[in-house]
């Protein structure tokens, strides 16, 4: 059972994960589904879901053999048995995970075509607030698929790797001084307020000290490097004070230097070092450059991440 935030917190514009109404889950109908559904069952304690739609997409056959004349409403597949096996397998998986009461909120279907196109079109047509997908370890196709889903759906996206652990004690939120990172922080605070156990939130800004960006870096002393870090930490504190007011005290602040172009590697090191159970990211930055940068950071993080669930939140998603 979840708790509900106070009116005071509500007045500050917290984005409550409790308000997610419609969820779309993409299933593979293989060994990864059990872990994905178990994680969603855990995750569901923080959100107020009224409808869950599960979708499995069969690759489009070639040549297409139509069975719609035999059984109206049936997708184009090689044989009806393939469609029936998919439906039976999905029903079995869902009954093994959810109780009878929750199953009343769940419907499911087997589609035929491009998995990406079918999943995104189904999510958008259903006005899903959140799309949940799994991610197989060391499978590039799944990592690319996850990033494309994030780009194409008009919904928040939860990516749960097959090794994800269903626990929530620590949340890491990357901060790039954009409104979208504030949106992610407010979402994290919503999770904290919804939890019956303590949740720690780490607002993390990674700044780059790369030779070609900072030609004078070689002349930096340890003291000047410390001063630079203090300035970034001061900027982060002022930003959070302006945007979160007294709710700033809900989060810890962390500023980290990296000499790598790929910020995602440092973010994952900090997430692992902080024992993070979940990473929450805003979908875009506040300028064209930061949109590209944050997009590439998200893509790189998904590619390198093996264990941690990643929730990508988008401003304007209707609850």
> pLDDT tens digits for 167-221?
999 999 999 898 889 999 999 999 999 888 999 999 999 988 754 444 444 444 5
Q: pLDDT digits over 270-318, tens only?
A: 999 999 999 999 876 333 344 344 467 777 888 888 889 999 998 877 6
Q: pLDDT digits over 216-247, tens only?
A: 444 445 556 678 888 889 999 999 999 999 89
> Can you give the pLDDT at residue 305?
87
Instruction: Report helix, strand or coil for 208.
Output: strand
> Can you give the pLDDT at residue 24?
95
> Can you give the pLDDT at residue 175?
94
Left (φ > 0), alpha (ψ -120 to 50) or beta: where does 29 sit? left
Say if residue 5's pLDDT is above 60.
no
Mean pLDDT across the stretch 47-64? 80
Residue 205, beta-bridge partner list: 255
> Token pair 């079109």 is at which residue?
121
Query: Given pLDDT bands bounded at 50, 70 and 90, which one contains residue 113?
Result: confident
Domains 7-161 and 170-313 share a fold: yes
In this structure, which CATH number among 3.40.50.12780, 3.40.50.1580, 1.10.760.10, 3.40.50.620 belongs to the domain 170-313?
3.40.50.620
> Can you give the pLDDT at residue 16?
57
> Can you give the pLDDT at residue 228?
82
Do residues 287 and 318 touch, judged by C-beta distance below 8 A? no
Percent of the chain having pLDDT more than 70?
76
Residue partners of 135: CB distance under 8 A and separation at least 6:
142, 143, 146, 159, 160, 161, 162, 302, 305
DSSP codes, 14-62? ---GGG--EEEEE--SSTHHHHHHHHHHHHGGGS--SEEEEEEEEPPPS
Residue 257, beta-bridge partner list: 207
Provide the Cα torsion 176, 299, 147, 128; round to 10°.
-20
What is the domain partition of the chain in residue ranges? 7-161, 170-313
Of residues 60 and 133, more confidence is placed in 133
Mean pLDDT across the stretch 113-133? 89
Question: Is the bond into 5 cis (omega within 30 degrees of 0)?
Answer: no
As a whole number of angstroms, the distance between CA 192 and CA 169 comes to: 9
Of residues 113 and 108, more confidence is placed in 108
As a whole number of angstroms, the distance between CA 205 and CA 203 comes to: 7
Query: Given pLDDT bands bounded at 50, 70 and 90, which one contains residue 152?
Result: confident
Give Cα 183 distance to the centre of its chain. 13
Q: Is 60 exposed, middle or buried (0-12, 13-18, 19+ CB in 10 A)?
A: middle
> Can you give the pLDDT at residue 97?
94
> What one-character DSSP code corresponds to residue 13?
T
> Can you give the pLDDT at residue 210?
53
Q: pTM here?
A: 0.84
Q: pLDDT digits over 82-91, tens only?
A: 888 999 999 9
Class of domain 7-161: alpha beta
> What one-character DSSP code corresponds to residue 67?
-
Query: Given pLDDT bands bounded at 50, 70 and 90, which one contains residue 104?
Result: very high
Structure tokens at 147: 């990033």
H or E segment at 144?
helix 140-152
Give Cα 299 distance to the centre of its chain. 12
Mean pLDDT across the stretch 132-138? 83
The 10 Å Cβ neighbour count of residue 72 is 7
Say if residue 3's pLDDT is above 50.
no
Do residues 36 and 64 touch, judged by C-beta distance below 8 A? no
> Can you give the pLDDT at residue 246?
86
Strand 130-135, strand 51-58: pairing: unpaired
Do residues 306 and 149 touch, judged by C-beta distance below 8 A? no
Say if residue 11's pLDDT is above 70.
no
Mean pLDDT across the stretch 143-171? 87
Sign, CA dihedral 181-306-259-144, equals negative
As a whole number of angstroms, the distance between CA 219 and CA 203 comes to: 30
As a whole number of angstroms, the distance between CA 201 and CA 171 comes to: 5
């Amino acid at each position: 059972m979840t708790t509900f935030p106070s009116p005071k917190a509500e007045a500050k514009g917290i984005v409550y994960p409790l308000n997610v109404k419609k969820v779309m889950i993409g299933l593979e109908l293989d060994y990864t589904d059990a872990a994905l559904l178990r994680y969603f069952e855990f995750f569901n304690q923080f959100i107020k879901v009224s409808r869950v739609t599960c979708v499995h997409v069969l690759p489009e056959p070639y040549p297409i053999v139509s069975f719609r004349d035999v059984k109206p409403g049936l997708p184009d597949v090689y044989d009806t048995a393939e469609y029936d096996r998919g439906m039976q397998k999905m029903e079995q998986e869902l009954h093994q995970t959810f109780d009878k009461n929750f199953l009343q909120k769940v419907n499911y279907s087997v589609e035929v075509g491009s998995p990406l196109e079918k999943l995104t079109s189904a999510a958008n047509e259903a006005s899903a607030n959140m799309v949940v997908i799994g991610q197989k370890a060391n499978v590039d196709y799944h990592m690319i698929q996850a990033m494309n889903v994030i780009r194409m759906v008009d919904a928040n996206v939860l990516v749960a790797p097959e090794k994800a652990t269903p626990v929530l004690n620590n949340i890491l939120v990357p901060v790039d001084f954009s409104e979208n990172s504030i949106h992610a922080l407010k979402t994290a605070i919503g999770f904290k307020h919804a939890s019956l156990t303590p949740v720690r939130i780490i607002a993390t800004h990674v700044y780059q000290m790369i030779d070609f960006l900072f030609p004078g870096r070689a002349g930096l002393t340890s003291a000047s490097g410390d001063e630079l870090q203090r300035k970034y930490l001061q900027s982060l504190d002022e930003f959070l004070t302006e945007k979160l007011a007294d709710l700033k005290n809900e989060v810890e602040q962390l500023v980290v230097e990296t000499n790598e172009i790929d910020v995602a590697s440092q973010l994952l090191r900090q997430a692992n070092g902080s024992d993070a159970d979940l990473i929450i990211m805003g979908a875009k930055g506040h300028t064209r450059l930061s949109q590209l940068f944050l997009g590439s950071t998200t893509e790189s993080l998904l590619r390198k991440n093996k264990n941690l669930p990643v929730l990508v939140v988008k401003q304007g998603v209707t609850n």
